Structure 1
């Protein structure tokens, strides 16, 4: 059974509570998504490590309930303190 956008969003929001999350269903089948996640949890991490954190947040469902996930991850811009 495919993963709903709501379930995907819930997993990501639980793992990255401060995140701005945008999810697009790429094929309309609930099985192929693009997720854009901006979270302070990614600050200073290599992109590979950022993606590993996202996959861990999906609790083993990548490749099962979720077939394909294109990721765009980043940390928020540093504030200038002004």
Structure 2
């Protein structure tokens, strides 16, 4: 099986779980060189910007829990940190 970049894995899982209106996953690993959890080759620190109707009426904490749950395997594995910007349509 071909190696899929972690960024793509995260994007695909969030797409499947939340069918977002908009989704952007950014690899910020290069910003964390020399910090805990950083590895050569990156793919350790990510930021997700996601807008989905699934978040309507949910608190910030609930939204983060939903995303962390969808990405449980990645967060337990090689992903050291995931910053989340989650909104429902029309927010912001």
Aligned equivalent of 2:8: 6
Give the 3-state SS of the residue equivalent to 1:62 in structure 2: helix
Q: Where do 4+ consecutive residues of structure 1 move more than 3 Å?
A: none
Aligned equivalent of 1:26: 28
Unaligned runs of 5+ in 1: none
Q: Which has the higher helix share?
A: 2
**1:35 is the counterpart of 2:48:** yes
Deviation readout 1:7-39 (Å, 9 max, x if unpaired): 110110010113411111112411100000100
Q: What is the aligned length? A: 76
Q: Please say which of residues 54-63 and 6-15 is displaced more in the overlay.
A: 54-63
1:72, distance to aligned residue in structure 2 (A)? 0.4
The alignment's TM-score, normalised by the length of structure 1, stands at 0.82
Query: What RMSD in Å do the two structures reach over aligned CA positions?
Result: 1.6
